[in-house]
């Protein structure tokens, strides 16, 4: 699944910790120049330093995905320095609110539902739209949208699904919407070399879930890197974990 990575850049949003940071390390191992997207300067610079200490080519890019000004500044800076972007990994995702409330659809606060969509869906749309002109400059552009099996309507309708009882409307539906982004952008870009796919990292021990996940960030990053480094004959418009397709 690997492509020729000489002089290739990858931008990872929310790369200062968790799955994003591990993905950054793995893309570094693949030979990419890593643009470490982070909203907090101190945390971003610290992640950049850790990646450089491991021998990778890394550069912190200040990027708050919920701010169009921040997205535009980041895109301009990437254009000035690199002239293109080969891979965009839309990794930022949040779970907002108190679990007891968000786990019950009728108890979900609509402000919180909107806010979750701001982070998980609208910000991903804004970043993708703004970075697309740079990705079009690449010979082998790849966009990986970090989704979740919790966004799968098919699995949520199956009582045997491991997370059937995790009906967190805000988070889950925002990831379903992420999958719609994938399908629609993949269609728009079908006659270009750009591939757009959704990744399901699985239930992973990170801050997002208070480290309750049973998978490691190393396991989680595997599918992300697979999709980021797809060869020209690879799929587009799909939803995958490291074992293959995930139902929509
Ligand atoms: N962990 C799981 O079990 C699991 C399962 C399926 C899917 N996922 C998905 O995997 C992705 C990564 O999650 P994770 O588990 O690694 O979570 P995490 O450890 O909480 O990391 C989230 C990252 O997003 C950043 N972030 C949040 N809001 C941001 C903003 N407005 N602008 C820029 N960065 C922002 C955070 O930065 P700060 O440090 O500044 O907060 C952090 O770097 C998410 O999309 C999540 O939904 C996770």
pLDDT in tens, 74-115: 999 999 999 999 999 999 999 999 988 999 999 999 999 999
Angle value at C-alpha 39, between 144 and 37, nearest 5 degrees: 40
Asked if 220 and 204 touch (Cβ cutoff 8 Å), the reply is yes
pTM of the model: 0.97
Q: For residue 149, what are the β-bridge partners? A: none
* Token pair 């994938």: residue: 182
Does a structural domain hold residue 1?
Answer: no
> What are φ and ψ of residue 234, in 5° steps?
-75, 170
94 lines ligand 1 (CB under 6 A): yes
Does a structural domain hold residue 24?
Answer: yes
Span 114-128, pLDDT tens digits: 999 999 999 999 999
Tell me how far apart the alpha carbons of residues 23 and 201 are, in angstroms, rounded to a whole number: 11
Does a structural domain hold residue 159?
Answer: yes
Asked if 98 and 36 touch (Cβ cutoff 8 Å), the reply is no
The total number of residues shown for the chain amounts to 248
Ligand 1 centroid to Cα of residue 205, in Å, is 12
As a whole number, mean pLDDT of residues 196-214 equals: 97
Split into its structural domains, the chain has a count of 1
* Residue from 12, 13, 19, 211 to probe ligand 1 pocket by mutation (most atoms less than 8 Å from CB): 19
Does a structural domain hold residue 3?
Answer: no
As a whole number, mean pLDDT of residues 15-26 equals: 98
Whole-number pLDDT of residue 5:
52
Centre a 10 Å sphere on the Cβ of residue 52 and count the other Cβ atoms it contains.
16
As a whole number, mean pLDDT of residues 182-207 equals: 98
Give the sign of the dihedral formed by CA 96, CA 100, CA 104, CA 109: negative
Tell me how far apart the alpha carbons of residues 147 and 20 are, in angstroms, rounded to a whole number: 13
Nearest protein Cα to ligand 1, atom 25:
14
Residue 12 has pLDDT above 50, yes or no: yes
Q: Which of 17, 175, 195, 214 is catalytic?
A: 175
Whole-number pLDDT of residue 65:
98
Q: Which of 8, 119, 171, 195 is catalytic?
A: 171
Asked if 57 and 33 touch (Cβ cutoff 8 Å), the reply is yes
Does a structural domain hold residue 76?
Answer: yes
Q: Is 80 helix (H, G, I), strand (E, B) or coil?
A: helix
Does a structural domain hold residue 230?
Answer: yes
Using pLDDT thresholds of 50, 70 and 90, give the confidence band for residue 7.
confident
Residue 72 has pLDDT above 80, yes or no: yes
* Residue from 38, 45, 71, 92 to probe ligand 1 pocket by mutation (most atoms less than 8 Å from CB): 92
> What are φ and ψ of residue 136, in 5° steps?
-65, -20
As a whole number, mean pLDDT of residues 148-170 equals: 97
Using pLDDT thresholds of 50, 70 and 90, give the confidence band for residue 208.
very high
Tell me how far apart the alpha carbons of residues 73 and 221 are, in angstroms, rounded to a whole number: 27
Tell me how far apart the alpha carbons of residues 131 and 133 are, in angstroms, rounded to a whole number: 6
Q: Is 175 a catalytic residue?
A: yes
Residue 1 has pLDDT above 60, yes or no: no
As a whole number, mean pLDDT of residues 49-54 equals: 98
Nearest CA to 13 among 114, 155, 143? Answer: 143
CATH code of the domain containing 109: 3.40.50.720
Domain that holds residue 201: 9-245
């Amino acid at each position: 699944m690997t492509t020729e990575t000489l002089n290739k850049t990858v931008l990872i949003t929310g790369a200062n910790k968790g799955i994003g940071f591990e993905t950054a390390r793995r893309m570094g191992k693949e030979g990419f120049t890593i643009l470490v997207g982070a909203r907090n300067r101190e945390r971003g610079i610290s992640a950049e330093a850790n990646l450089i200490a491991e021998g990778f080519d890394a550069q912190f890019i200040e990027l708050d995905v919920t701010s169009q000004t921040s997205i535009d500044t980041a895109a301009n800076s990437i254009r000035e320095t690199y002239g293109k972007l080969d891979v965009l990994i839309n990794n930022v995702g949040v779970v907002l609110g108190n679990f007891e409330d968000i786990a019950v659809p009728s108890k979900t606060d609509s402000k919180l539902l909107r806010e979750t969509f701001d982070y998980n869906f609208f910000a991903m749309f804004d970043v993708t739209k703004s970075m697309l002109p740079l990705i079009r400059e690449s010979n082998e552009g790849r966009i990986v949208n970090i989704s979740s099996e919790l966004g799968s309507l098919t699995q949520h309708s199956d009582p045997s699904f491991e997370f059937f009882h995790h009906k967190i409307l805000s988070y889950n539906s925002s990831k379903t919407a992420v999958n719609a982004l994938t399908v629609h952008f993949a269609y728009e870009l079908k006659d270009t070399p750009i591939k757009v796919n959704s990744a399901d990292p699985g239930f992973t021990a990170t801050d997002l879930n208070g480290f309750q996940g049973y998978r490691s960030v190393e396991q989680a990053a595997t599918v992300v890197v697979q999709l980021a480094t797809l060869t020209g004959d690879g799929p587009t418009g799909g939803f995958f974990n490291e074992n293959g397709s995930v139902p929509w």
